[in-house]
Every structure is written in structure tokens, then in C-alpha cells.
Structure 1
Amino acid sequence: MIYGYARVSTKDQSLDVQVEQLRAYGVDDVVMEKVSGRSVDHRTGFKSLLGRVKKGDTIVVTKLDRFARSTKDALETIEYLNDKGVGLVILNFGGMNVDTTTPTGKLMITMFSAVAEFELGIIKERQREGIAKAKERGVYKGRPKRYTANHAGLAHALELYQNRDTNGLTVKKIAEITNISEATIYREARKLRKGCL
């Protein structure tokens, strides 16, 4: 069985071009979704497709980014499909058609994997070097706090929180007024009571 997978990120985008390309390739069934690629938990159609395919089946996508949210995600999905004996065809992979069931397609994906792993290693190495140099200069303090005692929105939220018995405001309403999350208001109020702020 040859399955096609078409995805766009927003409801107002059209799937027509992808579906047309998949049909032209000769897919038997097209799974369509209108959901962000980063929302992996919401890609229910794709998850269902991964569970449904069996040895000898093929999944066809128009581009790599239609089924994967990152290089790591793409490689993990390709490995999962390989383990199941399922082929993957990418109709436009840098201007080329790549079929993982062919020796050339396997080579392309292997090279892609190697380059991606190499790039990730270089990025991590540069990041470590940058952090080490920043620490030597005394300018690296780690991740900065989002809110400080001087944050006007937080100060207003805490003032409203402390006076909620007299002003009649709920924490939810205070969060709406100040644009500070309820969790942050509760957390920072606890710190204030303990004298940590």
C-alpha cells in the first residue's frame, strides 16, 4: 500500500498542491492534516498512519518538513519506518526525489543523517566554548530570571494579589489585567511571603 501524507500548518492554508503531487505519484490513500509540525501531540493523523503501516508499505510526502518538525525528528521517524520495513519517498528533497527503499535513497538519507549529526556536534562544541569563555570573563550567569522585583507588571500583580480581599479580584482576573500567569503570581507571592523576592 502506498500512503500519502499532506500537512499544512494553519487552517486557512490549502492542501490541494500537495494532494495533487501525491496523487500524481500514485498513492492509494492520502492522510491530510492542518496542524503545526511543532505540535507533535496534535498530529493525530500522522501518528495513526505510523501505527497503521506495515512491512512493504510506503509513505510518500512532498517535502521533508511536511512530516518532521526537526532533523532529529526526521531521522528518528525514518529509522522507525526502516525498522518496520516501510519505505519513505520524499518528492522534493533538495530538488531530488528520494526513495529510502532504493540503494541511492538509503545513501542519501545516511549522508543526510551524518551531516545533521556533524552539524549538531559542531553547534554543541561552539556553545560549550562560548559558555566557557563567558564564564572566564565573569559574564555568564546562566539563564536570566524572567521576572525581578523591579518588573512593573509583576509588582502590580502582587499588589493586586495582596489586596484581593478588599478589591474582590480573583487570581484569574489579576492574571488577565497584568498579563502575568496565575502560576507566576502564586509562585512569586510565596517567595514574597518567605522574603525571597
Structure 2
Amino acid sequence: MTKTYAYIRVSSKTQSIDRQLDEIEKLKLSKKNIFIDKQSGKDFERDSYLKLKNKLKYGDLLIVKSIDRLGRNYEMIIEEWSFITKKIGADIKVLDMPLLDTRIQPDNLVGKFISDIVLQVLSFVAENERDNIKQRQAEGIKLAKEKGIHMGRPRVKLPNNFKDIVSKVKNKELTSREAIKVLGISKSSFYKYLFLEKINF
């Protein structure tokens, strides 16, 4: 007898699963067939997902609300998708995207074929977008450098009286603690400035 399972994932323990759970509960699935992970989608090494995958049999159906709940890396999703649908022989249905439904039904005669194509297209779009983002970032950094805009952390600006205060510390007119108080900076900033200015006591 074939079974229907659902998989829910959020990226961290502090995130809510309510939105996904609401959609899944409408399907009237047994709670024992709903698997939940509160973990990053960077790979498929997730406790509940691995338990679910171990339960999947030929003809079973796996339901997810959206493709990114399965994972966030499309290359890995395609590999996992292929394993489930071809190696195990189970079906996958993505609620947010009706075309991603591998079941063969009267109104969906080429489910696996169409789903595979859609998944490949999504993978291409995602990869292309990643490349575009990298290119835009590189162009933005290059343009900023050409305009003399500093990238990264703000450059350290020494207090105007820093060298005078340090000189007093060096001459034992002030202690380091007194110097930090006069300068109005933190202890870590005081010693960082010293390091950057290469001033030795």
C-alpha cells in the first residue's frame, strides 16, 4: 500500500513552521507522516529528512509546500529529486508549483518528464541569477574603488590628541587606563590604534 508523506523545513529553530504546516494539514495526512526539520537547506544531511527518505517506497508520494523547502542548492535538489523519483520510484508534488508534480494522472500524462524539464529550467535560472549577482557585486566594487570609496570596514580614524596622550603614557604621566578614559575610547580600540600606528612603549 502506497503512502503519502509531507516534508516541512525552516532554516533555524527560531523560525515558525506554521505557514507550511497550515497548508499540509489541509491534506489530512497522518501526523506520523509529516517530517519537520529546523535546519539549513545547504545540504540534505538533516535528521528528519533522512528518516523520511528511508521510509519512502515505490509509488509513495512526497509533498512539500515549495521547492526551496526541499533545499536551496538546485544542483543538489536535482540530484535528490532524481534519486527519489528514479531510484526509489516515489513521486514528488510541490504545492506552490503545480508543474512540479511527477504523478502520472489522466490530466498529467507526462508528469515526471515535465517536472524534470521545469526543474532543469529552475536550476538554470537560479545559477544564472547567482552569476549575475556576483557580476554586479564585482562591478560595484570596481566602480567604488575607482571613485575612491573604501570597501569593507570603515577605516580607523585616530582621535586628534591620540599621539599626545600616548606620549604622556610613555613618559609615565598617565596610565593606560587614564589615557583610555581621556580619549573616550574602549580598551580594545586603544590598543588597536597603538598597533596601527606602530607605537611602542
TM over 0.5, yes or no? yes
Pairwise CA distance, 1:6: 2.4
Q: Which residue of 1 aligns with 2:196?
A: 196
Give the 4+ runs in structure 1 shifted more than 6 A.
38-42
**Which of 11, 30, 36 lines up with 1:32 in the alignment?**
36
Distance 1:28 1:81, change over 3 A: farther
Report the secondary structure of 2:122's partner residue: helix
Q: Which residue of 1 aligns with 2:122?
A: 112
Q: TM-score with structure 1 length normalisation?
A: 0.55
Is the 8 Å Cα contact of residues 78 and 88 (structure 1) preserved in structure 2? no
**Which of 77, 90, 93 lines up with 2:94 in the alignment?**
90
Distance 1:49 1:39, change over 3 A: same
More helix by share: 1
Deviations 1:64-89 (A, max 9, x none): 23333x3xx24423323424635532
Q: Which residue of 2 aligns with 1:49?
A: 52
Q: Which residue of 2 aligns with 1:77?
A: 77
Partners of 1:27 and 1:82 lie apart in 2 by 26
Is the 8 Å Cα contact of residues 6 and 18 (structure 1) preserved in structure 2? no
Q: Which residue of 2 aligns with 1:4?
A: 6
Is the 8 Å Cα contact of residues 90 and 99 (structure 1) preserved in structure 2? yes
Is the 8 Å Cα contact of residues 6 and 32 (structure 1) preserved in structure 2? yes
Over alpha carbons, which structure has the higher Rg?
A: 2
Distance 1:116 1:4, change over 3 A: same
Is the 8 Å Cα contact of residues 37 and 66 (structure 1) preserved in structure 2? no
**Which of 47, 62, 65 lines up with 2:65 in the alignment?**
62
Report the secondary structure of 1:10's partner residue: coil
Report the secondary structure of 2:152's partner residue: coil
Pairwise CA distance, 1:121: 1.7
What is the count of residue pairs matched by the alignment? Answer: 156
Deviations 1:37-77 (A, max 9, x none): 57979953235435x25674653202223333x3xx24423
5+ residue gaps in structure 1? 152-161, 164-179
Partners of 1:90 and 1:105 lie apart in 2 by 10
Deviations 1:90-115 (A, max 9, x none): 1212xx24125610111111111111
Distance 1:196 1:55, change over 3 A: farther
Q: TM-score with structure 2 length normalisation?
A: 0.54
Is the 8 Å Cα contact of residues 62 and 90 (structure 1) preserved in structure 2? yes
Partners of 1:150 and 1:41 lie apart in 2 by 49
Q: Which residue of 2 aligns with 1:13?
A: 18
What is the alpha-carbon root mean square deviation over aligned residues? Answer: 4.3
**Which of 124, 132, 139 lines up with 1:122 in the alignment?**
132
Q: Which amino acid aligns with 1:64?
A: I
Q: Which amino acid aligns with 2:35?
A: V
Residue identity (%): 23
